[in-house]
Amino acid sequence: MRDLCVRRPVGDLPCRLGCGQVYKGGAHELLALEQTRLAHEQDDCELPEVHVYKVPRDTKLLKLQAWGAGGGSGLLRSQTVGHGGGGAFVEVICQVFPGETLYFSVGSGGSSGAFARMVECPDDKEDEAKTSKAVKKVPGGIRIDIQVSTAAGGHPGGGQGHSGNKESACGGGGGFTSVYRQGAFGIEHILIAAGGGGGGTCRDGGGGGLCKAQKPREGDEPRCGRPGSDVAGGCAGKCDEFNPICKFVGTNGISLQGGDGAEFGGGGGGGLFGGGGGGFSPGIAGGGGGGSSYVNASLVDPKSVRVEAGKAMKSGGMEENPPQSVRSAYWDLVDGLAGEGGTGSTRMPARGNHGGVRLAKPGFFNDMKFQR
């Protein structure tokens, strides 16, 4: 009777950040469940953080600064590193209405690359999943597959990175940061700061881009995803079509979503149009392309508009003294700045930093860089 009492079910413990994850168990597991939920909220929850801001009375202008999130890094174990691309920076002075509500959607950083896993599969399994490939049967008839790993892209819009063996890891793309309002016909974006692409094994992810993508140049790495533009997503990096190792190719970026990497490749960054996923050829796994940024010209002072692309590891707008990055709450600071791409090492990849938003009312425009 005592066991039944101690082991009785307790109420569900949902993620307090709102991602939908729920932890269930008995009363004897309550402390462990609470610790597991806390660890999830601090380290694993990928929910984008949306802030609601009510414009103060008598305020008709706001200066907004936004950083897209950084992409996660990748590596070839003990040999090379592919850094994540940094998020783009966007600055505008925007016309607002006293008392209206603005929404700040802060992009989350792309996940660090993960190594593929060996899993046991039943003998009667006939169809190969897209993300696994048969290796061999061990004595006793047990079939062992290598399951391709997935590095989740940051929300919203980051593409997935993939890695198909135990020595390679490719990062996910960073999510974009946006400021928007609810207009008469739905969401009306004021600005979008693009996220950076995830790093490959030896090629960096592309930085969050400008509003218009640069044209391809001679010497560009063909296996890296192309950046998004103002009219279309970036193309996926090229794969060696005669290479039997690569089982699936990367995908192109689309509206508000970065492309996924090939079986070995980084994810594209999110943006107005996402960057393409990374491609692959033997020995080289490409990084994902950065997304494209956006400014609604009808709502801002055109002379105030400033857009700066990110680079490998570094976000745009570094001279503006970006705010310090956080994990899941404003007080949970990490060692790095908003929008920086994952750096990692040849032993351990790193996730990209979340993006950020900063605003000021008239009279405080010149003081923004001192508020971190």
- 118-134 pLDDT, tens digit per residue, is 777 665 544 444 444 54
pLDDT, mean of residues 73-91: 94
Residue 189 structure tokens? 């974006």
Q: Is 35 helix (H, G, I), strand (E, B) or coil?
A: helix
Checking if the pLDDT of 110 tops 90, the result is yes
Q: Are residues 120 and 16 in the same domain?
A: no
pLDDT of residue 1: 43
CB 271 within 8 A of CB 209: yes
Q: Are residues 19 and 54 in the same domain?
A: no
Mean pLDDT for the chain overall: 84
pLDDT, mean of residues 265-282: 94
Q: How far apart are CA 108 and CA 85, in angstroms?
A: 13
Q: Are residues 178 and 260 in the same domain?
A: yes
Contacts of 267 (CB under 8 A, 6+ apart): 71, 110, 151, 153, 158, 159, 160, 161, 170, 171, 172, 173, 197, 198, 258, 259, 260, 261, 277, 278, 288
Q: Are residues 118 and 227 in the same domain?
A: yes
Give the pLDDT confidence of 322-363 residue by residue, as tens digits: 887 766 555 556 678 889 999 888 889 999 999 999 998 887
Residue 103 structure tokens? 């929404």
pLDDT band at 84 (very low <50, low <70, confident <90, very high): very high
Q: Are residues 204 and 110 in the same domain?
A: yes
Q: Are residues 14 and 122 in the same domain?
A: no
Q: What is this structure's pTM?
A: 0.81
pLDDT of residue 45: 57
The CA-atom distances, in angstroms, between 3 and each of 6, 31, 88 are: 5, 17, 56
pLDDT band at 7 (very low <50, low <70, confident <90, very high): low
Checking if the pLDDT of 49 tops 90, the result is no
Q: Which of 95-99, 134-138, 278-282, 310-314 has the lowest mean pLDDT?
A: 134-138
For 308, phi then psi, to 5°, come to -130, 125
Checking if the pLDDT of 145 tops 80, the result is no
Q: Are residues 20 and 169 in the same domain?
A: no
Domain of 214 in residue numbering reads as: 50-372
pLDDT of residue 333: 62
For 163, phi then psi, to 5°, come to -145, 130
Count of structural domains within the chain = 2
Closest of 245, 287, 24 to residue 151, by C-alpha: 287
pLDDT of residue 126: 45
Instruction: Please list, residue by residue across 110-142, b when 16 or more beta carbons sit within 10 angstroms of its beta carbon and e when fewer do.
Output: bbbbbebeeeebeeeeeeeeebbbeeeeeeeee
Q: Are residues 25 and 143 in the same domain?
A: no
pLDDT of residue 134: 47
CA 265 to chain centre: 14
pLDDT band at 208 (very low <50, low <70, confident <90, very high): very high
pLDDT band at 147 (very low <50, low <70, confident <90, very high): confident
Q: Is 32 or 129 the better-scoring residue by pLDDT?
A: 32
Q: Is 120 or 81 the better-scoring residue by pLDDT?
A: 81
Q: Are residues 238 and 266 in the same domain?
A: yes
Q: Are residues 164 and 311 in the same domain?
A: yes
Q: Are residues 37 and 134 in the same domain?
A: no
pLDDT, mean of residues 130-149: 62
Q: What share of the chain is helix, strand, coil (3-state, %, to 5)?
A: 10, 30, 60
Cis peptide before 156 (omega within 30 of 0): yes
Q: Are residues 55 and 146 in the same domain?
A: yes
Beta-carbon-side half-sphere exposure of residue 119 (alpha carbons within 13 Å):
16
Q: Is 13 or 260 the better-scoring residue by pLDDT?
A: 260
